[in-house]
Amino acid sequence: MLITFFLCGTLSFAQKVNDLKFVDAQELEILGRAFDNTEGLYGRLPLDMKNEYREELWYLGANTAGVAVRFSSNAKALGAKWSLLNDFSMNHMASTGIKGIDLYVLNNEKWHYLGTSRPNGKQSSSLIISNMEGIEKEYLAYLPLYDAATALEFGCDSAAFISKPKQNILRSYKVTNNKPIVFYGTSIVQGGCASRPGMIHTSIIGRALQSDVINLGFSGNARCDKSMLKTLQRIDAKTYVLDFLPNCTIEMVKDSAEYFISNLAKAKPDAEIYLVENINFPTAIADTKNAKELQEENAQLYAIYERLKKNHKNLIYIKTDEIIGTDGESTVDGVHLTDLGFMRFAENLLKYIQNGLLRRSSSQ
């Protein structure tokens, strides 16, 4: 019965990906990128600073986490065709999250998930959805989280079109002042281990606020580098979320975090800067050494916040005791989040960010 189901599901698609006509994503609207001068088409770090980054940061900067494409189409069928730099795999994260493409449609002014283009090698292509009515709608597609898309095209049926978005929905809310929200952090910020690209908390928050979001998550490498401070200072933004503690030792927090935070605050005096504690990793309930280290790092970050808030009024400290829930069911491996974890994380962070945006809006 299971084999019959899959065969029937496959045969029911009248449209095939090879029948589609394709448009290069570069002709559409690219979101989630703070810099145009990147080494790859969809990279996240500026090429003119390449020599300032550690090798690991530069390598991870090619990953397309948080990068998205907006377009309009009257298609009855939509698909994607893309090339990957590495065809990377991990044993605790779905390939659809690492290197797939997610598609959303704007429905009643909210983004609604339609489907995921599943990767099938360095050169991937797949039909995402078919049998639609052919009415012009707005679409949003997210790129791979832990691999680099080196080329990307979207396809539609031959009688339809794909063009730049017609509705200025994204980045249109007054509270965002047309400025992106910037996240800096660890593998969790980069998206480990979401089942698909649209399910990371940065993208969930972006959809909720209809705001552009810059994801500067670097797996294992959020260590408050001076090069990353300079990168954040270069971005024209009014909201920064700093979530680096899981990649830092207590010594790194003591040596680098205060300099990083204070200098970002000086460079961005009108921006809200959110400082996120270590989340309540489930293993800490039994691993006493880990629990002690997490508590020490949190205490050190809070002490920095207490010292700096006197001169930087827009610093906001986020306690995370219950931010991903208390049932221990929000991670894949005790550290990296499942879709459930990301949704809980997003919903709780969103309360802080919305309050900050509203405060800024009311003060103008």
3-state secondary structure of 344: helix
Q: What is the CA radius of gyration of the chain?
A: 21
pLDDT at 161 over 80: yes
Mean pLDDT of 39-62: 97
Question: What are the φ and ψ backbone dihedral angles of 164, each rounded to 5 degrees?
Answer: -60, 150
> What is the Cβ-side half-sphere exposure of residue 32, based on CA atoms within 13 angstroms?
30
Confidence of residue 5 (pLDDT cuts 50, 70, 90): very low
Q: What is the pLDDT of residue 16?
A: 86
Q: What is the pLDDT of residue 2?
A: 43
Looking at the chain, the whole-number percentage of residues with pLDDT higher than 70 is 92
353-362 residue pLDDT tens: 998 877 766 6
User: What domains appear along the chain, each with residue ranges and CATH number?
Assistant: 17-163 (2.60.120.260), 174-363 (3.40.50.1110)
* Contact partners, residue 71, CB within 8 Å, separation at least 6: 23, 28, 29, 138, 139, 141, 154, 162, 163, 164, 165
pLDDT at 330 over 70: yes
pLDDT at 163 over 90: yes
* Contact partners, residue 101, CB within 8 Å, separation at least 6: 80, 82, 116, 117, 128, 141, 142, 143, 144, 149, 152, 197
Q: What is the pLDDT of residue 362?
A: 64
Mean pLDDT of 17-42: 95
Q: What is the pLDDT of residue 259?
A: 98
Mean pLDDT of 326-336: 96
Element (H, E) at 117: strand 110-117
Across 8-22, 176-190, 226-240, the highest mean pLDDT is recorded for 226-240
Name the nearest CA neighbour of 106 among 136, 77, 130, 137: 137
